[in-house]
Amino acid sequence: METELAPAPSSRATEAAPRLVWGARLASVAAALLLTLTVPLVYLVVDLLVWRGVVPTFSELPAAKRQAFQAQWDHRRGANDEIAKTLARIRPADWEAKVEEPQHWEWRWQAVNYRLFHERVSPEAAEAYLTLPDDGGVAALTGHRLGILSLLAREHSPPFARLISAVARTANWTWKADPVGSNTPFFTGLFLVLFLLVATQLALLFGAAHMAGAAGLAAALRLRRSIYSHANRLNQVVVRRQTADEVADLLTTKLESVADGLRARLLLGWRLPVLFAGLLAVLVSVNVGVALCFLFAAALVWFAVGQVAAHFRHDGRLAGRRAEARLSQMRESVSILQLVKCYLMDRFNQTRVERQLTDYTRAEWRRLRGESLSGPAMTAAGILAGVGVLYLAGLSVLQGSMSVAGLAAKLFAVGVLVWALGAWLQARARIRRGTEAELAVVEFLNRRADTGQTIDAEFLQPMERRLEFVEVSMRESGGGRMLLENVSLVVPSGSRVAIVAADPEESRALAFLLARFLDPTGGEIRIDGKNLRWVTHESLRTQVAMVIQQNLIFGDTVANNIGCGDAGYTLPQIIEAAKTAHAHQFIQRLPHGYETSIGDGGHSLRAGEKLRIALARALLRDPSVVVVEEPELPMDEDSRALLDDAYERLAGLRTLVFFSRRQSVLRRADKVAVLHRGHVVAVGTHDELMKSNDLYRHLLFKEVTVPNAA
């Protein structure tokens, strides 16, 4: 029974740094709440600038406000005992002689405001508005500019009035006048509070961005470690180039999308819904009718015009893909010009190109139409809806049902709401890309390792007798094609065997099976009678050294390329291995010798030099079996001669398995096996096969005719 090596995957990237995640969420939500609070501050600033803190007389009120006050007086305020007592103190002794109706409403208005300030703010606030002498004298308005008390007098709706009263009661600087009778303290205080709100909001946003960025980096780091660890278990990464490219894409592009999506989710996923709710609440509190009209217009734009814009965007994407396909066809039409000229296909190919150009132009026009109409359609619809709502809001101001300050606050809230909507649409795209990338990561981490190690695996000793392939069959991973079918081959210890195949995938499959990167779908591979399935990976790969052209060198120093970063190998040992592989001389000529960086972004080496470094790496470990796949690129004569001598030095106590068509290698081989369509069709020496096997001669034809590299 084999052990389960596949890791338990986690699709929750936020588990990497929970404190950072919650810190970013809470900071972004707090920033949204503070941004919502700036709308009432804008309202207070505009109201102060319009009314200058003056409590208006009854005659100065808009008609709608006067009618509302009269209705409230007739309904219940006129029966209030405290208001009645205050009204009695306001009226002059000969008030009965003053029978003009407007004057009565002025006294009632003053009495109501006095009691309102007295009860909800403080007696001092009431006295700052109206002086009520105790000696029976005439009451008189102070004429002071009373800041927020002016707003409290004009806005009698219970929720709004209670909120303003709480502010005025807590902060008396909002209504106390300075010596010159202006509202400078209130105005300055509003801007100080606004500045503190904005500064705190910016600090919270910076903190949220920092924590979200750190959380994204932590999540990406954790997932990169998981991907690399799982890729190390998953042998498909070794044997299939597509899987290796997939892992590279996961480690780079996909995880960048995951981190970006996580940042968007943390910064905007909670912040924008809270901001939407807060701004909508502010809009409704300022004027319910206009707010409902705004919501209706927004819904109309979203559902009606948005669908039209979505149609144009979808049509543009389809047209873009069609245009790309036509460009690809045009590139092909240019690439076959040699064929066109050889076979006089000029008119035929010209017709094809014209047809491709016509299709490309149509598709590109549709794409441009989609891009040019989708965005402007949404913008135009939003502007028209905004103009309509602005018209209704203006009517409300003219009719007195909404103040200028309310209109300014509403416009500010709508502007923030439109910005938040655009940010949300962009965030949704980032979150969607991040989610798709995360699903790809989770799918990869869920793949099971295909060559696990058994619990009771044995330690493999150096090979002393033979290597056997017994009825080995191998099906291509993911494709289903049989690469090997009932392959049987015996390789005696200390011998040199060359394998020649028409399909390099077949010979490479044998190499991967020998190192147990793959397990055969049928048959067994044995070393000294032991099935490789039942030996430890470490002992097997210690005894079997692979020199595969796909991974001859990597980006690091020459010393690390040979020693693989193992501190157990000293520099003299590395140099000795390089000398045996005929690599020491050209390594000494490098700018920094064994400390020269080679590989990606490093020093450029020729194919033969890379192969000799890989041979030195294999020789350093003193394996009993060495598998060598020579590069397909032609090499110069000096490199070939040095390689042949290096192979001679490797031979003797080691078993060498070559995948090569180079005749000098094949002549020195004790045995050559010919693979064709998954079967071993011929086995013999080079000379025997050259005389008896047509396929073998055909496979070597390319090697014979290719000129040596300069």
Query: What pLDDT digit, counting tens, does each position of 139-188 carry?
Result: 788 888 888 998 888 886 777 788 888 999 998 888 887 666 678 888 88
Closest CA to 443 of 294, 660, 234: 234
pLDDT level of residue 297 (50, 70, 90 thresholds): low
Rounded Cα distance, 447 and 247, in Å: 12
- For 13-18, what is the mean pLDDT? 66
What's the mean pLDDT when you consider all of the chain? 82
Would you say residue 575 has pLDDT above 60? yes
> What is the C-alpha radius of gyration for the chain, rounded to an integer number of angstroms?
43
Digit-coded pLDDT (tens) for 501-532: 888 888 888 888 888 888 888 899 999 889 88
Digit-coded pLDDT (tens) for 250-279: 888 888 988 898 899 888 888 888 988 888
The pLDDT value recorded for residue 93 is 65
Burial 319-330 (b: 16+ CB within 10 A, else e): bbebbeebeeeb
Would you say residue 472 has pLDDT above 60? yes
Q: Enter the tokens of residue 295.
A: 């919501």
The pLDDT value recorded for residue 426 is 81
pLDDT level of residue 294 (50, 70, 90 thresholds): low
Would you say residue 709 has pLDDT above 60? no
Would you say residue 298 has pLDDT above 70? no
What Cα–Cα distance (Å) separates residue 677 from each residue in 505, 680, 702?
10, 9, 19
Residue 238: strand, helix, or coil? helix
CB of 474 closer than 8 Å to CB of 482: yes
Closest CA to 7 of 245, 232, 241: 232
The pLDDT value recorded for residue 11 is 41
- Which residues share a beta bridge with 456? none
The pLDDT value recorded for residue 16 is 60
First to last CA, the chain: 55
For the chain, which domains are there?
A: 1-37+193-286+407-450 (no CATH), 53-182 (no CATH), 466-705 (3.40.50.300)
The pLDDT value recorded for residue 365 is 81
- 307 vs 212 pLDDT, higher one: 212
Rounded Cα distance, 438 and 448, in Å: 18
- Beta carbons within 8 Å of 686's beta carbon, 6+ residues apart: 498, 663, 666, 667, 669, 672
Would you say residue 370 has pLDDT above 70? no
pLDDT level of residue 239 (50, 70, 90 thresholds): low
The pLDDT value recorded for residue 304 is 64
The pLDDT value recorded for residue 705 is 45
Would you say residue 1 has pLDDT above 50? no
Give the number of other Cβ atoms within 10 Å of residue 129's Cβ: 23
Digit-coded pLDDT (tens) for 546-561: 888 877 888 888 998 8
Rounded Cα distance, 1 and 452, in Å: 9
The pLDDT value recorded for residue 280 is 79
The pLDDT value recorded for residue 96 is 61
CB of 437 closer than 8 Å to CB of 11: no
Digit-coded pLDDT (tens) for 36-95: 999 888 889 998 888 888 889 888 888 888 888 888 888 777 677 888 888 888 877 666
- 51 vs 377 pLDDT, higher one: 51
- 179 vs 684 pLDDT, higher one: 684
Least confident of 1-5, 223-227, 244-248, 291-295: 1-5
